[in-house]
Structure formats: C-alpha cells, structure tokens
Amino acid sequence: MDDIKDLTNFCDELEELQGKEKVLADISRWISTDQVSVFWQQNTNRYPSFTPVGRPAPDLLVDDTKELYALCVVHAEGSSEKIREAFVKAVNIWERMVADPPDYERDFSKEAPSGVLVATEQSLDGHLFSGNKNRDQPVRFSDDRQQAVDQGFLPQREFAATQEVIRSAWRFAKDRGGSDEIGVGALLSSRLDSKEDTQSEQYDPAAFYYLPRESEPHRWESIPWFLWS
C-alpha cells in the first residue's frame, strides 16, 4: 500500500511540473532505461545528481553502455532565440571540456562526455524547433549523402532549421580550435532513421553531433548505444 501511495505522489509531482523542469523530467523519463542512467545538475528526489565542474554547466548527464553525453536543456516554446542561446552555452561548455576535461568523481562509462547536446521539448520528434514557426520541415538530400547514412554517420533525414543550427555550432567550434574526442550537437530521435515519416507514437532517443577535427565529423548514435544495423 505504501508503494502505491509513493507512486501516486510521484506521478502527482510530475503533473505539477512546468516550464524547463517539465522538459527535464520528460526527457529524463524518455531516455532512462536499465542501460541508461540520467543525472541532474540540480538536486531532485527523482534522479541522482552530479556536482558541476566549472560554469556554465550542463543540465543533465546521460550515461549509457558506451557513451556519456552532456545535455543543455531549454524550454523553447518555439523560440529560435532561446535555442540559439542554448547552443552558445553548449559551445562554451564544449570549449571548457576540451581545454580541461571534467572530473565528475563518478564511475561513468567515459571520463568526459562524447558530445555536448542541446535538447528541447521537440527532441522526442527528431527536431529542436516548433515546426509551424521555424521552417522545420524535412530536407531533401542527394544520393551522395546515402553513403554516410549507410555507414551510420548521418540519419536518413534531418529537419531544416535543426540542421542549420547544429552545423552553425559545429563551424563555430571549429573556429575555436576543434576536438576529435568531444563533439557538439543535439538530442534527437529515431524518427530520422527512415526516409519516410513512420508516424510512430514513440521514438527512441539518439545523439547527433559533430567532432570538429574529424575528417568524417558526423556522429549519429542511438541511446543506449549500439551498432546501427
């Protein structure tokens, strides 16, 4: 009976969340599995926390079987400016991590994140922006791109505004010196894995980021990580 009461209280608390905290909770529930652990920067009774190393700090750390990701979460509400500000924060975190890799004093799968990712309430649908306000329609690609898709470096599809802002952050990071170990990008979803929109009710999380010094800079990774079939 106490367990049922505790679960009811927990669900009630989630229903009361608003704004950025609700986005944090929604993304955390979406990502969390037996193989994936989510850590919050702020203290919460729902998830374990981590101690920030330097400022600005990511909102979440996501640790799976192979990779560690740092997430900058924004409650965008369709605002392009909020998302671009989140990418400025992500690049600043990326630059600091490249210069001085953080020591989180936890037994993560990696010592430093593989990528610093921006996430919004739209990430579950494979893009960052609100589609009816920000030209966030799927983009068409040439046949030459398919080779990178087949190798698992790129998703089958991307949304225009999301693609543009991720690549802008990548170019900005390259100008700051680059790295072949830590990338910058976005939390998206498996909706992008098929050429045609599957209209699934539930997509799986995926990380899309660029390693600024790599000759093949793109990384498209499922969460939890596994080799794309």
Average pLDDT over residues 61-84: 91
Q: What is the pLDDT of residue 212?
A: 82
Q: Using pLDDT thresholds of 50, 70 and 90, give the confidence band for residue 68.
A: very high
CB 62 within 8 A of CB 69: yes
- Say if residue 138 is preceded by a cis peptide, omega within 30 of 0: no
- pLDDT value of residue 1: 45
Structure tokens at 144: 């030459």
Distance, CA of 22 to chain centre: 16
To 5 degrees, how large is the angle CA 122–CA 187–CA 111?
155
pLDDT in tens, 147-203: 888 888 889 888 888 999 999 999 988 888 767 789 999 999 999 988 777 667 789
Write the pLDDT tens digit of every residue in 202-219: 899 999 999 987 777 889
Identify the pLDDT of residue 105.
80
pLDDT at residue 132, as a whole number: 58
Q: Check pLDDT > 60 for residue 92.
A: yes
Instruction: Report the Cα 126 to chain-centroid distance in Å.
Output: 10
| Residue 205: DSSP 8-state | E
Residue 87's pLDDT is 96
Is the per-residue pLDDT at 220 higher than 70?
Answer: yes
**Alpha carbon distance 70, 83 (integer Å):** 16
Is the predicted pLDDT of residue 139 greater than 80, yes or no? no
Stretch 38-66: mean pLDDT: 90
Question: Confidence band (pLDDT; 50, 70, 90) for 136?
Answer: low
Q: What is the pTM of this model?
A: 0.87
- Compute the distance between CA of residue 112 and CA of residue 72 in angstroms, rounded to an integer: 15
**pLDDT tens digits along 98-135:** 999 888 888 898 989 999 999 999 999 999 998 655 56
What is the per-residue pLDDT for 96? Answer: 92
Per the CB < 8 A criterion, the answer to whether 157 and 137 are in contact is no
Instruction: Supply the DSSP string of 48-90, one letter for each residue.
Output: -B----SSS--SEEEE-SS-EEEEEE---TT-HHHHHHHHHHH
